[in-house]
């Protein structure tokens, strides 16, 4: 790989995945490169230097990779938001619409205490459906969302506007035009 200077340079595009007409922005190439992965985590952390964050919430599935690394760097706990039926114990659920259909996500009902400051993370912001569902779950448990952080924003799909419409602060390391 030639010298790389931005996180975006590590992300590959796969045409027609998972459906025809989709340009899939694949972050596994970023995760596989030690320098690129460190760059992404460091840049995702940067806006929150000095802020109180009690927990990082990662959205299934690539948000787990990012969220775990960010929580480790911040020395705070990590909470997964998972697809329906994947968490043991008592959960609360949230239905939502995503780019390719409908889904349900869940969180343990005791994962966040009222008033805790939460950083929500995922790899990609598209329509905002998954993130908005995660936000609703966190708020139902009394968590206060400090910000939402992503590697990629797909501005043409409107997710940033959806989250900002919910009063969220949104950060993304790069953007790709198109779907």
Residue reference for tokens 């039926």:
85
Decide: 67 and 56 in contact? Cβ < 8 Å: yes
Q: Is 82 a catalytic residue?
A: no
Of 80, 56, 77, 59, give the one whose Cα is nearest residue 122: 59
The pLDDT of residue 101 is: 74
Q: Which residues contact 91 (CB under 8 A, 6 or more apart)?
A: 106, 107, 108, 109
Nearest to 13 by CA among 129, 152, 127: 152
The yes-or-no answer on residue 144 being catalytic is no
Q: Is the dihedral angle over the CA atoms 69, 2, 126, 173 positive or is it negative? A: positive
What is the rounded average pLDDT of the residues 160-171? 98
> Is beta strand 77-83 parallel, antiparallel or unpaired with respect to 117-125?
unpaired
pLDDT value, residue 5: 87
Q: Considering 8, 60, 99, 139, which one is annotated as catalytic? A: 99
Give the model confidence (pLDDT) of 68-125 as tens digits: 999 999 999 999 999 999 999 999 999 998 666 799 999 999 999 999 999 999 999 9
> Residue 19 — very low, low, confident or very high, per pLDDT cuts 50/70/90?
confident
Is the pTM higher than 0.75? The answer reads yes
Helix (H) or strand (E) holding 30: helix 28-32
Q: Which domains does the chain have, with CATH numbers?
A: 52-175 (3.40.50.2020)
Q: Which of 25, 62, 82, 160 is catalytic?
A: 62
Give the pLDDT band of residue 4 (cuts 50, 70, 90). low
Q: pLDDT value at position 1?
A: 52
Which two structure tokens, joined as six digits, stand for 116? Answer: 């805790």
d(CA 70, CA 137): 20
C-beta separation of 159 from 122 below 8 A: no
The per-residue pLDDT for 178 is 77
Overall average pLDDT of the 119-140 stretch:
97
pLDDT exceeds 80 at position 33:
yes
Q: Angle at the Cα of 126 (from 125 to 127), degrees rounded to 5?
A: 120
pLDDT for residue 160 is more than 60: yes
Mean pLDDT of the chain: 95
Percent of the chain past pLDDT 90, that is, above it, reads: 91
Residue 132 · residue 99 · CB < 8 Å: no
- Reading the block at residue 81, the tokens are 């938001």
Q: How far is CA 76 from the centre of its chain?
A: 17
What is residue 18's predicted lDDT score, i.e. its pLDDT? 86
CA separation for the pair 148, 154 (Å, rounded): 15
């Amino acid at each position: 790989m030639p010298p790389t200077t931005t996180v975006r340079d590590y992300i590959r595009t796969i045409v027609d995945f998972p459906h025809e007409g989709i340009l899939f922005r694949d972050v596994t190439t970023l995760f596989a490169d030690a320098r690129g992965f460190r760059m992404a985590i460091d840049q995702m952390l940067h806006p929150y230097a000095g802020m109180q964050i009690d927990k990082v919430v990662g959205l299934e599935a690539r948000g787990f990779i990012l969220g775990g690394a960010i929580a480790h760097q911040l020395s705070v706990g990590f909470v997964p938001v998972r697809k329906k039926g994947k968490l043991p114990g008592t959960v609360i659920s949230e239905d939502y619409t995503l780019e390719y259909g409908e889904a349900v996500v869940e969180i343990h009902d005791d994962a966040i205490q009222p008033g805790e400051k939460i950083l929500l993370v995922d790899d990609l912001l598209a329509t905002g459906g998954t993130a908005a569902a995660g936000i609703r779950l966190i708020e139902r448990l009394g968590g206060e969302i400090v910000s939402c952080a992503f590697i990629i924003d797909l501005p043409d799909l409107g997710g940033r506007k959806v989250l900002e419409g919910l009063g969220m602060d949104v950060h993304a390391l790069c953007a790709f035009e198109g779907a």
